[in-house]
Amino acid sequence: ASVRRYTPLKIVGDGSFGTVTLCDWHGPLPPNTPLPAMQRSAGARQEYAGKRLVAIKRMKKPWEGGWDECKKLKELESLRRIPYHPNIIPLYDFFLLPETKELYFVFESMEGNLYQLIKTRKGGRNFAGGLVSSIFRQVVSGLDHIHACGYFHRDLKPENLLVTTTGLYHYRSLSPQATDDTPPESDVVVIVKLADFGLARETKSRPPYTEYVSTRWYRAPEVLLKSKDYSNPVDMWALGTIMAEVVNLRPLFPGNNELDQIAKICELLGDPSDYGKDDRGKSYGGGPWQKGVKMARSQGFSFPKVCAATRTNRYAC
């Protein structure tokens, strides 16, 4: 195997399964690999000039079985099978150190993640409507791509959406009250890419799946109710909760535990009962969900009787 040469610059992430380090890469990369946006933008840091930045993830588990064991790793499998997409973090290289049995992934480097970007606005002004729309389009585009390729992510959260800001832009106001004379909203331009496919699974793979997936605040109700038979819709639930957080700058359902998480969901959507239709002909809250009621009953749990909140934050009944 060829020797990989790089200079570690700083640790940018440390999780249960791996540590991510920003590095200056000295070896070859796949053909036509561009410089990362964080080095090409007008606000690129001078300290990175002349470097070839990558993010290297070192898996904490030693792979004593060598490549035969590594090839079974779901993260590696999904990253190798899903074709390139501008809103999915690309895998440039991967290698196993024979002495330590440590597995390394080499990715495109990004400035940070969506959680950090949201944190910069807390107590300050909200994101421009056009920027919210841009973030939504990019995440949806990346999700649609992995779903079309036969995978679902299972761990979608702000920390797993990597971002790089590339300058400022004057966004057209998206307010319903906006007129032709409404001034544009100035805000940053953000590139968003889906990352961390450690929990990704093939849509056609057969359950049961692990019941504990995703951070609790972004976990779909069926997963909270211990279902082991779920698929792409869990990613769509997470997407909805993330976008609400982007708009409001605070988590939508910040549950302290799984029961509290369900209670907070019911406070907004109501329990899975039929409370009729609103003035748009839409069901109040989430509408009836008999399968969910059955799953809850099998766990010895019953939903709290809570009416759904209306658009004016009042109750529908």
Q: Which residues are catalytic?
A: 155
Output DSSP code: residue 155: -
Residue 223 and residue 279: Cα distance in Å, rounded?
31
Q: 6-14 and 53-59 as β-strands: parallel, antiparallel, unpaired?
A: unpaired
On the question of a cis peptide bond just before residue 208, with omega within 30 degrees of 0, the verdict is: yes
Give 56-120 as a DSSP string.
Answer: EEEESS--TTTHHHHTT-HHHHHHHHSPP-TTBPPEEEEEEETTTTEEEEEEE--SEEHHHHHHT
CA of residue 154 relative to chain centroid, distance: 9
Residue 110 and residue 105: Cα distance in Å, rounded?
15
HSE-up (13 A, CA, CB side) for residue 110: 26
Helix or strand run (H / E) with residue 21: strand 18-25
